Amino acid sequence: MQIAFVADETALFEDGQAALAVLVFEDAPSSVADAVDRRTGGALGRSLNAGRFTGASGKTLSVWGVEGIAGPLVVMVGAGKREALDAAGVEAAAAHAYAAAKSSGAETLAILLPARSAEFAARAAMGARLAAYRFDRYRTTEKPEQKPTLKRVVVAAEDAGAAETAYAPLAALAEGVEFARDLASEPANVLYPDEFARRVQALTDIGLEVEVLDEAEMARLGMGALLGVGQGSVRDSRLVVAQWRGGGDAQPLAFVGKGVCFDTGGISIKPAEGMEDMKWDMGGAGAVAGLMKTLALRKAKVNAVGLLGLVENMPDGAAQRPGDVVKSLSGQTIEVINTDAEGRLVLADALWYCQERFKPRFMVDLATLTGAIIISLGHDYAGLFANDDGLAEALTQAGTVEGEKLWRLPLPAAYEKQIESPIADMKNIGGRPAGSITAALFLQKFVNGLPWAHLDIAAVAWRKDSGWPTVPQGATGFGVRLLNRLCQGYEG
């Protein structure tokens, strides 16, 4: 999607290939909407009066063949209450405008804002760009009328140069989100641990330092928990370590992602129905990879390290069995009760390796860890668990600002009884009650007292509807935006 900013919107009215989007308030007139209405001889006002469109946030009204506008249509986009309009609202409105015009036949979406600040213009461009995401590389017979026609977004701004400057870090963020979405959307026969690692290694071109630990190195270190998960697959497991050094001598911030490139459940095999969705069980690793790409592209003034535990959980004759005992990198032993509780085994070794090697300021892990979190929170919140109140609050605030909402759940020590094992230091599953909590309590045993937070993103890594304006159906890239916002708070 091409993005441009203009200070003079006159040419946009005369572009026969441009759909015009105008923000409309529900409680007050807009000078921009009034100006467009006058240009069209009152056509927009008549359309408003004839229907039920009120300017409510998220609503749109498309008016076709408007006199005075060369393009095919004008999209009126509800912006809600005038005094409540903020940058997030502008971003959402632009995303709704894109959705309304994407298949209109127009090649350009021209967005006119009631306030033409650089920040609002940049966020409008961001909203349209993220809404335009589409994973279509394997479609070969799609009919032309099924494809979006929009190729370009132009936003009117008071100062086009200032808008471009404001958009630059958002463009880096959009690339990170798109990278994470691409990774999660790829089929598992294409994106397996080695290929995932190669795609992250390619980011050395933008300044990341990337190491890939193979199975021999992980075995030498003693990562029996992670390696046990992948031993039933013909695809070798990998641990990717990506570093961004933009913060001088400061302690790094650490992010750890679960990267199960495909999860059959192993010997504790999942039901066949819906198993195809398990290609996105690497959504946590995808988000961490997207974050690291964002930090490098925008030259963030922070030190950060991202660790990706990459495995494939398959049920062949060499696979891990229920009842097996594995020894983790920490030295703690784990009885594997259910081989479908594999992500926590991957994270156990990755978290211990991270805190031991990098001594970070804090660690945040992201994982599509439990189906129980979906029962708890639905599909609009990720679960947040933390041993540090300050880190939990910073994450929650970052998620609120970026529209990636978190809800904190407790870590009661009494529930640790559910993961006690009669033959090992712990077992990998605590039963149905409080399943997300006992999974987090398991992970806490591998952070060694370091400030840590766990984000269970199983409910939000993939959407089968388009309930969020900037997130089309499919992979969401959830976590990239909120972690980037978190990092901004630590930049020098």
Question: What string of H, E and C letters represents the secondary structure of the chain?
Answer: CEEEEECCCHHHHCCCCEEEEEEECCCCCCHHHHHHHHHCCCHHHHHHHHCCCCCCCCCEEEEECCCCCCCCEEEEEECCCHHHCCHHHHHHHHHHHHHHHCCCCCCEEEEECCCCCHHHHHHHHHHHHHHCCCCCCCCCCCCHHHCCCCCEEEEECCCHHHHHHHHHHHHHHHHHHHHHHHHHHCCCCCCCHHHHHHHHHHHHHHCCEEEEECHHHHHHHCCHHHHHHHCCCCCCCEEEEEEEECCCCCCCEEEEEEEEEEECCCCCCCCCCCHHHHHHCCHHHHHHHHHHHHHHHCCCCCEEEEEEEEEEECCCCCCCCCCCEEECCCCCEEECCCCCCCHHHHHHHHHHHHHHHHCCCEEEEEECCCCHHHHHHCCCCEEEEECCHHHHHHHHHHHHHHCCCEEECCCCHHHHHHHCCCCCCEECCCCCCCHHHHHHHHHHCCCCCCCEEEEECCCCCEECCCCECCECCEECCCCHHHHHHHHHCCCC
Residues 201, 209: Cα–Cα separation, whole Å = 8
Catalytic choice (344, 427, 463, 481): 344
pLDDT at 221: 98
Calculate ∠ Cα 476-478-480, nearest 5°: 120
pLDDT in tens, the chain (492 residues): 999 999 988 889 999 999 999 999 987 777 788 888 888 888 888 887 777 888 899 999 999 999 889 999 999 999 999 999 999 999 999 999 999 999 999 999 999 999 889 999 999 999 999 999 999 999 999 998 889 999 999 999 999 999 999 999 999 999 999 999 999 999 999 999 999 999 999 999 999 999 999 999 999 999 999 999 999 999 999 999 999 999 999 999 999 999 999 999 999 999 999 999 999 999 999 999 999 999 999 999 999 999 999 999 999 999 999 999 999 999 999 999 999 999 999 999 999 999 999 999 999 999 999 999 999 999 999 999 999 999 999 999 999 999 999 999 999 999 999 999 999 999 999 999 999 999 999 999 999 999 999 999 999 999 988 778 999 899 999 999 999 999 999 998
CB 48 within 8 Å of CB 68: no
Looking at 81, 152, 270, 405, which residue is catalytic? 270
CA-CA distances (angstroms) from residue 333 to 216, 312, 313, 421, 440?
A: 20, 22, 20, 10, 17
- Angle at Cα 93 formed by Cα 91 and Cα 99, nearest 5°? 105
| Alpha-carbon span 272 to 280, nearest angstrom | 16
Under 8 Å between Cβ of 132 and 177: no
* Cα–Cα distances in angstroms (integers) from residue 138 to residues 187, 261, 279, 377, 465, in the given order: 10, 19, 16, 33, 21
Q: Which residues pair with 61 in a beta bridge?
A: 76
The first and second tokens of residue 197, run together, are 């690692």
Q: Taking the CB of residue 324, how many other CB atoms lie within 10 A of it?
A: 17
Which residues have C-beta within 8 Å of that of residue 48, sequence separation ≥ 6? 24, 61, 76
Strands 362-367 and 452-456, bridge-based pairing: parallel
Cβ pair 176, 297 in contact under 8 A: yes
From the list 195, 384, 204, 217, the residue with the least C-alpha distance to 286 is 195
Q: Give the predicted TM-score (pTM) of the model.
A: 0.97
481 is catalytic: no
344 catalytic? Reply is yes
Distance CA 329, CA 218 (A): 9
pLDDT for position 386? 98
Question: Rounded to whole angstroms, how far apart are CA atoms 440 and 420?
Answer: 14
- Token pair, residue 29, equals 């007139």
